[in-house]
Structure 1
């Protein structure tokens, strides 16, 4: 391997950022060439270590927080509604209240994460999620449930964008989709494991005078609290401060990230105006909005829908497990396919098509002879579609955001505003429309199509912007006072599809 050069990546604290800028200004063409001389065996070892140390902890953390957010669906069919005297649309209110702090807090949380090490901030957020889950299990009123879920939303707001931001900082752009897919698959594991765990915990009904639905919240919350303590020691910090690589491996990590296609397209100082004026951020939020509505529809209502197909509460919990097992297989297969064909756009559209077929089948239940078996198959299509499209959207968008602050703003804004889809999905499934739910299924289908159309706009816009940069129409930006802090607005940056 060539002699090591110290080239810090601008992902740590402010001192690291200043050092990075000073070194990057002095990099010579010779040093760039020497990057190509890295021993491939050492580089593979670095990537393998990142896969073991960087991805698993945020994945488990997301899975736990996800279970704490959606286990209300399991609790609903185990007696929660009766015990808390919930009527009419109270369940919908309990669902959507969590998304208000999501919208307000996700971008600020990412900016805090930029100032605090990930293992401190993210483990603190996970601890709060577990604590609020326990509180949901001991509350005695509907008002208490709503208050707990609102606070739960504050803690959970930063976990998804923070986890995505942390993972994106360790990998090259072409390596990112597969890791994002692994991370998102924890949602399918959460759905399957949550159903199985809820089935087991429901049998604790009567222990210490608590109903089975309370134990679902309490036990799952306690698991999250314990794991939040583990996360403090397990989570990786920013690449400049990572603890799991040897000094030589750490230099290789810095080299390969500096040699990535980001090039001069850095944003190491926050530029609110430039971030807010980027059309890609807002189209990304629209794409995410549509698919989040579908995913929350399935996660929050699948147990109820299964029960209304004629299953008992226990059978509904069990029959929800295969939905997520199949969704995991689709998620993983589509991810590897998208890497093979080097495209996020077409796998995304395949997921939209699959989900659309499922919704059309369910919408046709009332007017055709669609039996429970066909309706159950449609739920497989819909659940799988969500876990195909959502990781495609996130990896595609993050591949086209460059610079630490730009990625932080993009992930926080996309997920924060996009989670407004949860507000919609929580308020379109009306009990009086059971078991056909035309408003719920029709709205979810429309929002899925919205994701497809937004993806077309995103793709066409990226191609046109690449063409303008190839023609030199963006070179004037090099004369701007902040030309060293343009992020993906830098003329040298090229977008991927």
Structure 2
């Protein structure tokens, strides 16, 4: 099971690194052989700066757009999505989850397509299609159409993060790759920071063209994605051996420095079925990850229904977190593959329901469209930052036990999910008690009805959802 989809809604995982090309298979002519070490170092720094400016900013923009497109469904919910499409909370939870099902299922084949079609074709094409999917989400009128749009959105977005990760690994040394990937990934936090405000502004178009505000969020952001996708046909580069922005000498420099770093795929390589079969084990692992996701999906819907009926979202988080703790304890302590696989089910069941439930909990306890939008943006953006953690704690050298990774997630579950939910529940219960007893009535003394209404969740008569 992939770590990122268990931990947060927008985290991702890279495909395996480029295969090593033997030195005699590429042109290793050194255009700087006659230069001193200091001169060579200066040229190398200039080359690296040129690569950074040409590759990183645009790719980061693409990831920012992808995160806006996958998380704006929460903003649309605030603008009446559920009411207009007649969705239950369980159906909404299912629509959130189905994105990650298609996203994870189709990840294994994306880098094969990236290599075969070239980045300058593959990335803009999938972006164009997901922009269309996003736009159609604003045209849906029922649950079935909405689910279909979310499924295809996950399918088409599946290629971006692993594709870009693979792509960048074919341009940079391993010692240079991490910081570039971190910069690229940080676009998710940026998207979470202002996505709510952007959606709130777009929602002011409510009624324009007979469309609701939530529909315009999908339509306009989808159209922006399409425009950026078209521009990407010119802005996204190919692999170093055919990059048009590099001189012939610079292409040799890039290929040479990667070869010295024991990397390759900087040059063109024909696709062969033998490469696909060499991925059989990882593909099988991806398929084995589907059942835990499915079980997690079912429980997510069940918890959504239960939390709505009982109004005890914190207690629901506490309950399912115990499942996650048990699951990751099994992953750490068990020796049997069967027991560990069972642990992945409990791990998914302990984390997936908490994502939608926590977002709902925060939404329930925040009054005011803008405040709620900003709050959710911060929560989602902060959650996505955990992808930086997960990309560093699950290391290849720790296979097959991955104790550092599983241990870190277990610590998160105990301290933040279980402990944080207990703390939040207790504090909210105490605050509700003070409001019921009238200890907060002084907040509204001397205020008129309008001013009291503007206090939002700071009104003394506002009781928090526990």
Category of TM-score, reference length = shorter chain: 0.5 to 0.7
Q: 1:308 aligns with which of 349, 361, 364?
A: 364
Tell whether 2:95 aligns with 1:39: no
Q: Which moved more, 1:224-233 or 1:104-113?
A: 104-113
The whole-number CA distance in structure 2 between the counterparts of 1:35 and 1:372 is 72
Q: Distance in 1 between the 2:424 and 2:253 partners?
A: 61
The verdict on how the C-alpha distance between 1:293 and 1:183 changes in structure 2, with shifts beyond 3 A counting, is farther
1:329 Cα offset (Å): 8.3
In the alignment, which residue of structure 2 is the partner of 1:276? 280
**Residues 60 and 184, structure 2, Cα contact 8 Å, conserved in 1:** yes
Is the Cα–Cα contact under 8 Å of residues 189 and 328 in structure 1 kept in the other structure? no
The aligned residue for residue 360 of structure 1 is: 418
- Conserved in 2, the CA contact under 8 Å of 1:181 and 1:331? no
Q: Give the deviation of 1:361 after TM superposition.
A: 3.3
1:181 aligned residue: 182
Q: CA deviation at 1:220?
A: 0.7
Within 5 Å, give how 1:68-467 maps onto structure 2: 68-262=69-263, 270-277=274-281, 303-323=359-379, 353=411, 356-364=414-422, 368-370=426-428, 435=465
SS at match of 1:311: coil
Q: Alpha-carbon deviation of 1:154?
A: 2.2
* Structure 1 residues 209 and 255: alpha-carbon distance in aligned structure 2, compared to 1, 3 A threshold: same
Report the secondary structure of 1:98's partner residue: helix
- Does the CA-based 8 Å contact 2:102-2:151 persist in structure 1? yes
Q: Distance in 2 between matches of 1:346 and 1:230?
A: 41
What is the SS of the residue equivalent to 2:141?
Answer: coil
Gaps of 5+ in 1: 1-9, 374-433, 437-497
| Post-superposition offset of 1:292 | 9.5
1:169 to partner: Cα distance: 0.9
Whether the aligned pair in 2 keeps the contact of 1:11 and 1:240 (CA below 8 Å) is no
* In structure 2, distance between residues paired with 1:274 and 1:49: 35
Q: CA deviation at 1:227?
A: 0.4
Normalised by the length of structure 2, the TM-score is 0.63
Tell me what 1:440 maps to: none
The 2-side partners of 1:181 and 1:229 are apart by: 26
CA distance in 2 between counterparts of 1:120 and 1:263 reads 21
Unaligned runs of 5+ in 2: 1-16, 293-327, 329-343, 432-463
Distance 1:221 1:296 in 2: 26
1:273 shift after superposition: 4.7
Q: Is it true that 1:54 corresponds to 2:112 in the alignment?
A: no
Measure, in 1, the Cα distance between the counterparts of 2:81 and 2:44.
52
Q: Structure 1 residues 85 and 322, CA, compared in 2 at 3 Å: closer, same or farther?
A: closer
Offset at residue 184 of structure 1 (A): 1.3
After superposition, the CA RMSD in angstroms is: 4.6
Q: Cα deviations across residues 302-342 of structure 1 (Å, max 9, x unaligned)?
A: 6533221242343210223444676788888x79x99xxxx
> Is the CA contact (8 Å cut-off) linking 1:191 and 1:299 kept in structure 2?
no
> Is the partner of 2:244 in helix, strand or coil?
coil
Contact residue 77 and residue 304 of structure 1 kept, 8 A: no
Contact kept? 1:204, 1:212, Cα under 8 Å: yes
Cα deviation code 1:450-478 (max 9, x no counterpart): xxxxxxxxxxxxxxxxxxxxxxxxxxxxx
Cα 1:174/1:295, change in 2 over 3 Å = farther
Structure 1 stretch displaced more, 117-126 or 149-158: 149-158
- The higher radius of gyration belongs to 2
Q: What is the CA distance between 1:64 and its match in structure 2?
A: 1.1
3-state secondary structure, aligned to 1:54: helix
**CA 1:294/1:314 → structure 2, altered by over 3 Å: closer, same or farther?**
farther
| Partners of 2:189 and 2:240 in 1: CA distance | 28
Structure 1 residue 352 displacement after superposition: 6.5
